[in-house]
Amino acid sequence: EPEVTQTPSHQVTQMGQEVILRCVPISNHLYFYWYRQILGQKVEFLVSFYNNEISEKSEIFDDQFSVERPDGSNFTLKIRSTKLEDSAMYFCASKAGRTGAAGELFFGEGSRLTVL
């Protein structure tokens, strides 16, 4: 069964360092998302991406964050200068369409980011 894959599964970084989290969405999907979950807190929406541009972003997604789909298969989340409060599990998700069965969102297993 096709699935969304994420790498790395766990990354430890120093505060101020740049981090890139990678995701390979399901191949025929057109809508891509990043969510994050700080330990003990709710899963929060970060950004949605469609047709090679950001379609929606939350207030969390400030200038330190960027997303890219560089080669038609990968979907990356970059944090330019990590802060302690960026420590969280980051989930990538994708879906084929907007309605009906195509609108089902598939999540990856997550990338745990620890900022020291």
Positions in 25-44 near other proteins (CB under 8 A): 31, 33, 35, 41-44
Stretch that binds other proteins, among 19-27, 55-63, 69-77, 78-86 (CB under 8 A): 55-63
Torsions phi, psi for 43 (to 5 deg) = -70, 130
Distance CA 73, CA 71 (A): 6
Among residues 91, 94, 96, 113, which is the contact residue for other proteins, using CB under 8 A?
91
Torsions phi, psi for 108 (to 5 deg) = -85, 175
Alpha carbon separation from 99 to 18, 54, 58, 95, 104 (Å, rounded): 36, 19, 22, 10, 8
**Nearer residue to other proteins within complex by CB, 47 or 79:** 47
DSSP letter assigned to residue 101: G
Q: Does 18 bind other proteins (CB under 8 A)?
A: no
**Nearer residue to other proteins within complex by CB, 18 or 109:** 109
Q: Does 110 bind other proteins (CB under 8 A)?
A: yes
Distance CA 108, CA 92 (A): 5
Among residues 7, 28, 55, 114, which is the contact residue for other proteins, using CB under 8 A?
55
Distance CA 38, CA 113 (A): 10
* Site of interaction with other proteins (CB under 8 A): 3, 31, 33, 35, 41-45, 48, 55-56, 58, 89, 91, 98, 104-105, 107-110
